[in-house]
Structure 1
């Protein structure tokens, strides 16, 4: 089987995409506690290890952007590959993650 290539997205591309009206999935690939503590506005918790179960709740036509903690975190790439395996065609990995998002002064949401 061919290796699934994950496209990367920059923070500027993510901000631009968030301004568009076309719906998309912004998947926080970290664990539930990390998501509840803080996440990028509009993100939904889809931990990398749960993509196979949770992806079936969404249309394969939606664009998907995954992120995790930082450039060093591998969960977002794993989640992106899992979405591709599930048949999603438009999948990107925002590698900067919540660390870059916060360092650049962007807002966060919390469930706590």
Structure 2
């Protein structure tokens, strides 16, 4: 029979991971890091946190082994500790959406009405092979630089309305963003269709693309 103290320590180790994820803001930081490495300052700005608060949250994630760091000069950069951390985040979202009605209600309220057409990854790849498609990445430019889908053009959502002339008039525009729970692609499609352009969105996003081990351009 195993030692009771060792068993307790084992489960306490598992609990440390759960405790680290038991914060909405820390989960948001994990979601941002699933897009690629970022500095503390960039993470704080993206998550709407003060620098000290962001650093404290990141330290909790680091102590649980969920993120890793590197130093460049005076700056500290964070990244997810492994592919499995991104997979854990994706699974946590899936379980929450499937088993908690309030999560699904919040998702619908955040993403808005089902008024945007979507494509699966397989459908996107087929449409690109057939031609007549322009793929746009509507995430912030630093996320695009950290890794994007092959052939994608960076047009952040806040620049889209001013850069419509850059998009071929006859193509179907396919927008994608961070993942299945990211509102940016929904808003991009709404912006494009309101201006008479043919637009659809990728049903998932960069997180799911990476987890599927599909090619990423950096």
Q: Would the TM-score normalized by the shorter structure come out above 0.5?
A: yes
Q: Which has the higher helix share?
A: 2
TM-score range, shorter chain: 0.7 to 0.9
Structure 2 unpaired stretches of 5+: 1-112
Q: Which structure carries more relative contact order (alpha carbon 8 Å, separation 6+)?
A: 1
Q: List structure 1 runs of 4+ shifted beyond 4 angstroms.
A: none
Q: CA RMSD in A?
A: 1.6
1:17-53, Cα deviation, whole Å (9 max, x unpaired)? 1222x23210101000000110000000011111101
In the alignment, structure 1 segments of 5+ residues that lack a partner are none
Hey, what does 1:12 align to over in structure 2? 122
TM-score by length of 2: 0.46
Return the alpha-carbon distance in structure 2 between the equivalents of residues 84 and 60 of structure 1.
Answer: 12
In the TM superposition, residue 4 of structure 1 has moved relative to its aligned partner by: 9.3
Counterpart residue number, 1:48: 157
* Mapped contact 1:76–1:95 kept (Cα < 8 A): no
Q: Indicate the structure (1 or 2) with the bigger Cα radius of gyration.
A: 2
Query: Normalization by structure 1: what TM-score?
Result: 0.87
Indicate whether 1:95 and 2:170 are aligned: no
Question: What is the aligned residue count?
Answer: 106
